[in-house]
Amino acid sequence: ETGVTQTPRHLVMGMTNKKSLKCEQHLGHNAMYWYKQSAKKPLELMFVYNFKEQTENNSVPSRFSPECPNSSHLFLHLHTLQPEDSALYLCASSQGAGGQETQYFGPGTRLLVL
Amino acid sequence: QKEVEQNSGPLSVPEGAIASLNCTYSDRVSQSFFWYRQYSGKSPELIMSIYSNGDKEDGRFTAQLNKASQYVSLLIRDSQPSDSATYLCAVKSNFNKFYFGSGTKLNVKP
């Protein structure tokens, strides 16, 4: 596979469930990101990892827990979500810090919380 | 004040016309600017990046940057119905921090 992949593509979960979103990049990049995209809102940056270290947490509620075991993989663990967390969750990657990196996005996971 | 501002549209242009999309940003130290296209239900895909003042052309697309005015635009020449999408302006500010605008919806009418 090439580029940035995300699984699952669609997810429906109850408020008491625990699930995980997975992202994998095949571009040799060192930085990975989680974004949330709700209807009619700008992309909201959630987390940034650079060389496996978390460098950004944009005041995201603790019911979202990221994990980055290596530069190619990124997870978003979900637990006790709320209906307002329903959105498209996008993973992206870029070469790394500094310079003029471009972010490349995965196809996203469309999440519905019931 | 939003970091990146775009007119939400929709911007309607006839097929073959030039579509002009605009974006302003608040952080003067921003160095990298990007335009993404997002079709409904899909993820954003990169169209253009620009880093220096002036124009940058790639096929039917031209990005224009004016750092003094904190303004970046995207021109689409010979617009096609397949160009109908939401166009997101993105600005790279601090260390690996990207800000996105809300996007401008473009409709190209046949």
Q: Which residues contact A99 (CB under 8 A, 6 or more apart)?
A: none
What is the tens place of the pLDDT at every residue in A70-112? 989 999 999 999 999 999 999 999 887 555 678 899 999 999 9
- What integer best gives the mean pLDDT of chain B? 92
Q: What is the pLDDT of residue B65?
A: 96
Q: What is the pLDDT of residue B37?
A: 96
Residue B44 and residue A40: Cβ atoms within 8 Å? no
Q: Which residues in chain B are closer than 8 Å to A104, comparing Cβ atoms? A: 46
Q: Which residues in chain B are closer than 8 Å to A50, comparing Cβ atoms? A: 96
Task: Please count the residues of chain B.
Answer: 110
Q: What is the pLDDT of residue B11?
A: 96
| Residue A71 in contact with partner chain B when CB distance is under 8 A | no
C-alpha span between A21 and A19 (Å, rounded): 7
Candidates A84, A93, A81, A67; CA nearest to A14 is A81
Q: What is the pLDDT of residue A100?
A: 63
Q: Is B73:B22 a contact under the CB 8 Å cutoff?
A: yes
C-alpha span between A94 and A101 (Å, rounded): 6
DSSP-based helix, strand, coil % in chain B, nearest 5? 5, 55, 45
Residue A55 and residue B95: Cβ atoms within 8 Å? yes
Residue A102: which of B43, B46, B102 has the nearest Cβ?
A: B46
C-alpha span between A28 and A9 (Å, rounded): 23
Q: Which two tokens stand for residue A36?
A: 């949330």
